[in-house]
Structure 1
Amino acid sequence: MSNNSHHHKRGSFTGSLGFVMAAAGSAVGLGNIWRFPYLAAKNGGGTFIFVYIILALTFGFTLLITEISMGRKTKQGPLTAYGMLNKKFAPTGFLAWMVPVIILPYYCTIGGWVLKYLFAFLTGDAINTAADGYFTGHITSQWSPIIWMIIYMGLTAFVVISGVNKGIEKYSRILMPILIVLIIGISFFSLTLHSTDADGITRTGLEGLKIYLIPNFEGMTIKGFFLLLMDAIGQLFFSISVAMGIMITYGSYVKDDVNLMSSINQIEFFDTLVALLAGLMIIPAIYTFSGIEGMSAGPGLMFVSLPKVFAAMGKVGIAIGILFFVTVTFAAITSSVSVMEAIVSGLMDKWKISRNKSVALSLIYAIVVGIIVCLGYNVFYFELPLPNGSVAQVLDVLDYLSNMIMMPIVAISTCIMVGWVLGPDTIINEVTKSGAKFSRKGLYIVMVKYVTPILLFFLLLQSLGIL
């Protein structure tokens, strides 16, 4: 009896649709909309997409099904799930739980930037966002980023405090379909664009589409392909939100009769679809108005290049800009909700703290660290060279620690635990217990024991600057 009441208190998704929408919402975040198009443009378009899709169906699938099954089997968040499966792996659980703890403050800082832009477009200030130095001016100002970060964090906490059904599931079911419709709409619009520059050269969205989709193997070296592969793995990792305790947390809310296999196929489909559409929405538009050069903006793509594109469209650009930033806000919120939920589930499972108190603790902590992140561009500004060759501020350091160092370690450790200590059958039995077929079983065993940990090891070496 006590066991059931404990589960009842944790909450659960009502069925597979709610779970798929929440998990896809978690997977579809700033990473898909912001990093994917930039990496695709950097790595020869279609070549990157081709590699990414193959990885999603093998590498991504392996990590996703492992974590969701671990969550459902233990009915625990990451902090306690690992130790429950094998005591020796309790430290991995702690590390997995620390990843969202590090990510939440800086993710909400970026979420605040998105809200600021949305507000600018809604209040008729859109034209200024296209000015050179607008973005830098915003992030280096003292108070504005902090206020927006706190507003964004409040929205996130509001959803999490409402619980699994009335919060996460309810809002994911509303936001995800709207998000997909908006992205498809803007993508189609992006393809109809054309512009003529001062030299009389006309560029169209369809030409941009070709650059985005058609693989370009020109000058591709073995080293170049290796770097592309690492970029694709890194992106996928971030994109499907594995190795950060989120999928274990969401898996723990899935009822035993839900068909995990079909749910996971749907999550993979949604995630890859949105990543591809994000590129379709962004790359043709940027190509049309600023040529190939515009695509090398890196992370500034969303905050620097796109507002210029919206400005170049005239009046319709403001409307499209509003829709775009609404889309990005929805994508960001469904993800930051899952990041906060992973932290909250740990506090609830390990220390038996109520949901309300757990959310309050997470919120206070995240606001304090979030303020430090915001001040990293002015008061606490520094330039720290990282082992992987980039130069970092506070936000970049947290991103590097969580994404480049801790996540690969967590995932490698998970593969060792499942592949070699517990045995892949632990996961296979969990998936098939609802009568579901495990369709890629042979592939799964090879991936979890050998291929995935080896790829992750290379990713870790690259992050540490050894490769």
Structure 2
Amino acid sequence: MVEAKPAVEREQWSGQLGFLLAAIGSAIGLGNIWRFPGVAYENGGGAFLIPYLVALLTAGIPILLLDYSLGHRYRGSAPAVFRRLGRRFEALGWFQVAIAFIIATYYAVVLVWALRYVGFSVTEAWGDDPGTFFAEEFLQYAGPTVTADVVGGIFWTLLGLWVVTLWVMARGVRKGIERVNKLMLPLLIVLFAILVVRALFLPGAIDGLNAFFTPNWAALADPGVWIAAYSQIFFSLSIAFGIMLTYASYLRRRSNLVPVSYVAAFANSSFEILAGIGVFATLGFMAAQQGIEIGEIEGLTGVSLSFVTFPQIISLMPGGPIFGVLFFLSLTFAGFTSLVSILEVITAAFQEKFNLTRLQAVLCIGGLCALISLGLYSTTSSLAMLDTADNYANNVGIVASAITMCLVVAYGVRKLPELQAHLNAISTAHVGTWWRVLVGVVVPIALIVMLVTTLTDLVTHPYEDYPWAFVNGVGWGVIGGAVVAAFVFAAIRWRQPVDEFIPDRLVGNTARPPSTGGVR
């Protein structure tokens, strides 16, 4: 019997700098700009930075290192890596792929909204009532129901975005994903820095910063504040659903993983704090103009902040159209680098499982993702469907994936010592027993508490007071579909060898680590 050979050689980043920029580009997404500032304000203001830092050190960085070590040591997509840990664990890899697929279908449409609002900012097309414009004129929102009524302006822009996205994916890791991040990430930082500086000189900006940073120490006694901190760190870093695992698999054998993980994690958190400064300086201006307190402003997070509150601010401020163009371009750049990272999880998995070329995987699986995205999220029911799918995919799907991953690696296959040795053998900075304790004990406990809290709320109260039939159909449908897909794809025979893979021989802590000057 002739053994199947890989369709192509495994791709690689041009160097650690390319990988680092891609990892930061994936982590810095829409949530950094529209979620963190509001979450911090609602959970103790300046005091929130304490549980936030604790969560970063005890959960964010440890899981990031786990993702990196798994991908780099076992050199594959999520299904291939978990298959190599044990055949019965392959389904976990496919569950991560399924969650990434679901997120990609709706994440793209938010980029379309941002792109359209770049143009709307020039003429302030939303008029005197941005909320009504966004819901009724732009989205033609039909409420929490499922319709087939397509919104033309969104459909055609979304189609164009998918064409560009799939073209980037087809270009490959180095010529596509890496080049996009090398272009868009610096542009994002420059554009957003300009926004922050402009916001700091607006009347009322200091009041906004005081509202953001003034600590409410009593909030630290509330378990919900700590859950919010772990939740923010967890979702912000793009961990536990295949992205960082897949990205690390494209690194060269000798890669300085531990310091890179610290840089990526702190770069992401620094951008979040920068976003908080910019957003709340701007909200302070809005409150001053309207003669109200910042706490009275509606829409401090998420879609409402970006597409309702900020257009109001743009209409109030001098030079508002320029501010609007920069803001929505920043959202677009942040979102696009995250979108390609999500799609890479899917593309890599199907390339390896079915022995496809990158172009075949992008056209077949990426094309299917685009079709579903166009069919579901260019319709008049897109807002409620997106909101519900996002809540269940993140707060249930990804959290459950992370818990399972930690338990499988720590207790199912007992690979934490091996992965620790791998990280230490190739890195200039070493991780100690503390890392195994955090991954094997602290993180699972914290995430189980978070998941139980979420599930209790979801089964007792319909999400956002949407009808139960809609919530169950979309929300639990997303989770159920991901579980079914995971086991179905895990049962399909691999079209190329996967079990014969043998990791590099560990050389222990005596190995000469790579020079930090070798980053290219």
RMSD: 2.2
Determine the structure 2 residue equivalent to 1:247: 244
Q: Which runs of 5+ in 2 are unaligned?
A: 142-150, 288-292, 459-520
Change (3 A) 1:461 1:370: same
1:244-298 deviation line (CA, Å, top 9, x unaligned) = 1111110111112110011101101211011111111111101221341226443
- 1:408 offset after TM fit, Å? 1.2
Q: What residue number does 2:306 align with?
A: 302
- 2:374 is aligned, of 371, 375, 392, to 371
Q: Distance in 2 between matches of 1:221 and 1:11?
A: 46
Answer whether contact 2:7 2:357 (CA < 8 A) is retained: no
Q: Partner of 1:393 in structure 2?
A: 384
Question: Aligned pair in 2 of structure 1 residues 130, 287: CA closer, same or farther (>3 Å)?
Answer: farther
- 1:452 Cα offset (Å): 0.1
- 1:134 is matched with 133
Which residue in the other structure is 1:10 paired with? Answer: 10
Residue identity opposite 2:45 in structure 1: G
Give the superposition deviation at 1:8.
Answer: 6.6
2:267 corresponds to 1:266: no
CA distance in 2, matches of 1:50, 1:174: 34
- Give, as a single letter, the amino acid of the residue that structure 1 aligns with 2:349: G
C-alpha separation in 2, matches of 1:416 and 1:240: 20
The answer to whether the Cα contact below 8 Å between 1:183 and 1:327 also exists between their aligned partners in 2 is yes
Give the whole-Å Cα distance in 2 for the aligned partners of 1:309 and 1:40.
21
After TM superposition, the structure 1 = structure 2 runs for residues 45-444 of structure 1, keeping only pairs within 5 Å, are 45-122=45-122, 124-126=123-125, 128=127, 131-137=130-136, 138-140=138-140, 142-194=151-203, 204-218=204-218, 220=219, 222=221, 225-290=222-287, 291-292=293-294, 293-294=296-297, 296-299=299-302, 300-314=304-318, 316-374=319-377, 377-378=380-381, 393-420=384-411, 421-439=413-431, 441-444=432-435
Please tell me the residue identity of whatever aligns with 1:256: R
CA deviation profile, 1:335-386 (whole Å, cap 9, x unmatched) = 00001111100111111111112111233222232134325644xx8xxxxx
**Runs of 4+ more than 4 Å apart:** 5-8
Partner of 1:42: 42
Q: Which amino acid aligns with 1:148?
A: T
Aligned partner of residue 57 in structure 1, secondary structure: helix
DSSP-derived class of the 1:464 partner? helix
Q: Does 1:447 align with 2:438?
A: yes
Contact 2:8 2:357 in 1 (8 A): no
Distance 1:87 1:174, change over 3 A: same
- Is 1:25 the counterpart of 2:25? The answer is yes
Distance 1:214 1:43 in 2: 11
- Per-residue CA distance 1:293-351 (angstroms, 9 max, x = gap): 2264432001110111111113x111111111111111000000001111100111111
Q: Check the 8 A contact 1:283/1:295 in 2, yes or no.
A: no
Distance 2:255 2:213 in 1: 36
Does the C-alpha gap of structure 1 residues 393 and 208 become closer, same or farther in structure 2, counting only changes over 3 Å?
same
For 2:220 and 2:71, locate their aligned partners in 1 and report how far apart those are by CA, in whole Å. Answer: 41
> Partners in 1 of 2:299 and 2:130 — Cα distance?
18
Q: Distance in 1 between matches of 2:47 and 2:157?
A: 38
Please say if residues 120 and 129 of structure 1, whose CA atoms lie closer than 8 Å, have aligned partners that are also in contact: no
Q: How many angstroms does 1:28 deviate by?
A: 0.4
Whole-Å separation in 2 of the counterparts to 1:346 and 1:229: 34
Q: Match of 2:456, SS?
A: coil
Cα deviation, residue 48, structure 1: 2.0
Question: How many positions carry a matched residue from both structures?
Answer: 437
How has the CA–CA distance of structure 1 residues 363 and 94 changed in structure 2, closer, same or farther, with 3 Å as cutoff? closer
- 1 CA distance for matches of 2:399 and 2:263? 24
| C-alpha separation in 2, matches of 1:139 and 1:371 | 14
Cα pair 1:41 1:295 within 8 Å, conserved? no
- Residue 161 of structure 1 aligns with an amino acid whose one-letter code is A
Contact 2:37 2:301 in 1 (8 A): no
Deviates more, 1:293-302 or 1:50-59: 293-302
TM-score by length of 2: 0.80
Measure the CA separation in 1 of the matches of 2:168 and 2:378: 27
SS at match of 2:33: helix
Distance across 2 between alignment mates of 1:29 and 1:154: 21
Consecutive unaligned residues of structure 1, counting only runs of 5 or more, are 195-203, 382-391
Q: Say if 2:92 and 2:401, in contact at 8 Å, map to a contact too.
A: yes
Shift of 1:101: 0.8
Cα pair 2:158 2:378 within 8 Å, conserved? no
SS in 2 for 1:13: coil
Give the Cα–Cα distance (whole angstroms) in 2 for the partners of residues 134 and 78 of structure 1.
Answer: 42
TM-score normalized with structure 1 length: 0.88
**Distance (Å, rounded) in 2 between the aligned partners of 1:423 and 1:367:** 37
Residue 283 of structure 1 aligns to which amino acid in structure 2? F
CA spacing shift, 1:156–1:266, aligned 2, 3 Å: same
Offset of residue 7 of structure 1:
10
Secondary structure (helix, strand or coil) at the match of 2:35 reads: helix
Q: Which has the larger radius of gyration?
A: 2
Any conservation in 2 of the 1:110–1:149 contact (CA below 8 Å)? no
Q: Which deviates more, 335-344 or 29-38? A: 29-38
SS of 1:433's equivalent? Answer: helix
From the superposition, tell whether residues 342 and 297 of structure 1 become closer, same or farther in structure 2 (CA, over 3 Å).
same
The Cα shift of 1:437 comes to 2.8
Identity of aligned residues (%): 29
